[in-house]
């Protein structure tokens, strides 16, 4: 059953905590695959702010808790695998009473050029199985998402294999800087207005520039 939240009003008990979710698949075999871009970015956020992840059966993933820019922040890497990401996210949102507007989901996107960032306040799932699961279980599209471009395969039939493939050598050389930029965008989500963060980090892809 989808999760429902009432609009903010006096007496509402929704927490003031923020939740940053990195989407990916658990296990070493998936560690540096394109589909795990979300994990890579939230790992960087945690490193920069001395937040340690602890495996949590209660929250069905690896959970980090800390303070960033005077805000209480939870960072979650679901261990439910990509296609069931919404199960873990619904669980922690419900138990921690987190407002949808305080959620940021970081994921990969093959509709964007490699290294391109696209922050949005809401939107469709875009065919991304992790987002499909989140929308289904949360019952809303009203949560922010940071999409990390991975480029697209040469043949459309290769999409499922492509997202689970490793980054190329040339991509690996750029990866650290892109991950750091993604982490900076996550911090901007916490510290400035969303429109301002979007103007700072959103860029056009090659097709849009033509």
**Tens-digit pLDDT string for the chain (210 aa):** 777 776 554 445 789 999 999 999 999 999 999 999 999 999 999 999 999 999 999 999 999 999 999 999 999 999 999 999 999 999 999 999 999 999 999 999 999 999 999 999 999 999 999 999 999 999 999 999 999 999 998 877 578 899 999 999 999 999 999 999 999 999 999 999 999 999 999 987 766 555
Find the domain containing 97 and state its range: 18-209
The answer as to whether 4 is a domain residue is no
- For tokens 């669980």, what's the residue? 91
CATH number at residue 158: 3.40.50.1470
The answer as to whether 142 is a domain residue is yes
| Distance, CA of 136 to CA of 113 (rounded, Å) | 27
The answer as to whether 159 is a domain residue is yes
The answer as to whether 136 is a domain residue is yes
Its pTM stands at 0.92
For residue 21, which of 87, 114, 111, 70 has the smallest C-alpha distance? Answer: 87
The answer as to whether 82 is a domain residue is yes
What is the total count of domains within the chain? 1
pLDDT of 9: 47
| Distance, CA of 43 to CA of 38 (rounded, Å) | 9
Angle CA 177–193–36, to nearest 5: 35
The answer as to whether 13 is a domain residue is no
The answer as to whether 93 is a domain residue is yes
Could you give the 3-state DSSP secondary structure of residue 3?
coil
The alpha carbons of the chain give a radius of gyration, in whole angstroms, of 16
Q: Which residues are the active-site residues?
A: 35
The answer as to whether 163 is a domain residue is yes
Q: Is 108 exposed, middle or buried (0-12, 13-18, 19+ CB in 10 A)?
A: buried
């Amino acid at each position: 059953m989808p999760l429902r939240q009432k609009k903010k009003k006096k007496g509402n008990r929704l927490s003031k905590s923020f939740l940053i979710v990195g989407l990916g698949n658990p296990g070493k075999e998936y560690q540096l695959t394109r589909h795990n871009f979300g994990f890579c970015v939230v790992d960087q956020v945690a490193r920069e702010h001395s937040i340690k992840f602890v495996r949590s059966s209660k929250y069905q993933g690896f959970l980090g808790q800390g303070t960033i820019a005077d805000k209480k922040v939870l960072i979650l890497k679901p261990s439910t695998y990509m296609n069931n990401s919404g199960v873990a996210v619904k669980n922690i949102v419900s138990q921690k009473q987190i407002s949808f507007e305080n959620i940021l989901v970081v994921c990969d996107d093959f509709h964007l050029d490699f290294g391109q960032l696209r922050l949005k306040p809401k939107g469709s799932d875009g065919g991304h199985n992790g987002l499909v699961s989140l929308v289904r279980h949360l019952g809303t599209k009203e949560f922010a998402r940071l999409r990390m471009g991975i480029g697209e395969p040469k043949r459309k039939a290769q999409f499922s294999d492509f997202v689970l493939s490793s980054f190329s050598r040339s991509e690996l050389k750029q990866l650290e800087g892109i991950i750091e930029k993604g982490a900076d965008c996550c911090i901007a989500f916490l510290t400035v207005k969303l429109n301002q963060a979007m103007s700072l980090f959103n860029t056009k892809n090659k097709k849009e520039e033509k």
